[in-house]
């Protein structure tokens, strides 16, 4: 069965909100991460509200879709006037691909006055 970003069996297996943390270090330290398993790469973006639609259009071109925020994510602090938005897509997850996507998200959000608050890898535990 193909994995989707909305699969109810997904659980977080790795994550970081530290821009300076290497993707390889985060993945290596993640005990639950299975490099052979299908994965969803998920990003939490802090965006000015008037840029949300445009950023969602841009990341949709790369296959990302908006996802609902968890209670923990909604409780995260972000700069005044920013809106938290989660986007995710199914993809190969390794240090290189995560680093590329982190860079892409940082560029898109920065060009629109926002920032990436966190990235997360989700995998099915069934």
Ranges of H-type helices in the chain: 23-29, 52-60, 71-74, 95-111
Euclidean distance between CA atoms 5 and 67, whole angstroms: 8
Please give the pLDDT value at position 76: 83
Please give the pLDDT value at position 109: 97
In the chain, domain spans:
1-22+51-126
pTM of the entire predicted model: 0.94
Please give the pLDDT value at position 105: 97
Euclidean distance between CA atoms 58 and 38, whole angstroms: 24
Average pLDDT, 10 consecutive residues per value, the chain (126 residues): 91 95 97 95 97 98 96 82 95 95 97 96 90
Please give the pLDDT value at position 98: 97
């Amino acid at each position: 069965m193909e994995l989707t970003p909305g699969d109810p069996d997904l659980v977080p297996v790795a994550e970081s909100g530290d821009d300076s943390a290497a993707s390889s270090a985060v993945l290596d330290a993640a005990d639950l991460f299975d490099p052979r398993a299908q994965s969803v790469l998920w990003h939490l973006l802090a965006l000015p509200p008037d840029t949300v639609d445009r950023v969602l259009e841009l990341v949709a071109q790369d296959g990302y879709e908006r996802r609902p925020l968890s209670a923990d994510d909604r409780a995260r602090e972000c700069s005044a006037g920013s809106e938290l938005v989660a986007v995710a897509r199914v993809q190969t997850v390794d240090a290189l691909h995560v680093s590329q996507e982190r860079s892409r998200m940082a560029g898109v959000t920065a060009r629109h006055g926002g920032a990436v608050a966190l990235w997360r890898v989700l995998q099915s535990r069934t």
